[in-house]
Amino acid sequence: MQQNQALQELLEALPADERLRGRTALITGSSSGIGEAIAKVLAASGAEVVVSGRNSDRAGAVADAIRAKGGTAHVVTATLDAEPSEIREFAARAEAALGGSIDILVNNAGVYPGGSTADVTDEEMQALWATNIRAPHVLVATLAPRMAERGHGSIVNIGSWMARVGVPYMALYPATKAAIEQLTRAWAAEYGPSGVHVNTVAPGATATPGNGAFVDVLAAMTKDTPAGAPVRPIDIAYAVRWLVSDEAAFVHGATFDIDGGIDATRMR
């Protein structure tokens, strides 16, 4: 609870700037946690954003908070494990809300059921594939060609530090994030020559509302990292903001680890 309160206080205190003024952004899974922080940080820098999630009330609360700070936000609900045709329809609704075009796509929404390999249910397996891989693929296939036609655009995929390490009782989720890293490289090669930047931000163990029941676990996982504490959603959002800004004009196909050093170091 204290971590969530601290996050909200940070987001409430965001200074406004103009670096993304005139740009439109769709952030999937932005009704809480990392996605909420990304939506609020991009909006604070002038972007017009679509807040998306399954629950319209939660998404609406995020959009209202953005508007209260002088930003522009819309709510477009979506169920990202739906059929591809429904994902394309969601993209069309988001485009319409943003005046006809999307400059920035952040593929943030994801599911992460754990447990032993033998205990993963068919439903969990399908949800992981549909939400973590198929939905980003459909959204990029729908929106990236339009960005390419306009000669500019930014796509950021949210990965995970676990994509490159073996974690017991968590096989499929990291596999989907490893796939996202490879899709990022391929999409950068495909769309980069047309002015579309595609990159990945890979969070470490992050203190989100969804991890609220695992505060002690997160603390134990991160106490011996260089940062010594879990990642905050706002730290992920800052990295995303930089990647979609003009300052990252020469960044294509990269994965940025915003993880407090958990992947690169083993201090004890």
Active site members:
173
Of 142, 173, 141, 143, which Cα lies nearest the Cα of 158? 173
Triad 29, 34, 38: Cα angle to 5°: 85
Tell me the CA distances in angstroms from 185 to 116, 150, 179, 244, 252, one per residue in order: 30, 21, 10, 16, 8
Pairing of strands 153-158, 104-107: parallel
**DSSP conformation class of 25:** E
Any alpha helices (H) in 83-134, and if so which ranges? Answer: 84-97, 122-129
In DSSP notation, 31-55 reads SSHHHHHHHHHHHHTT-EEEE--S-
**Strands annotated E in 94-135:** 104-107
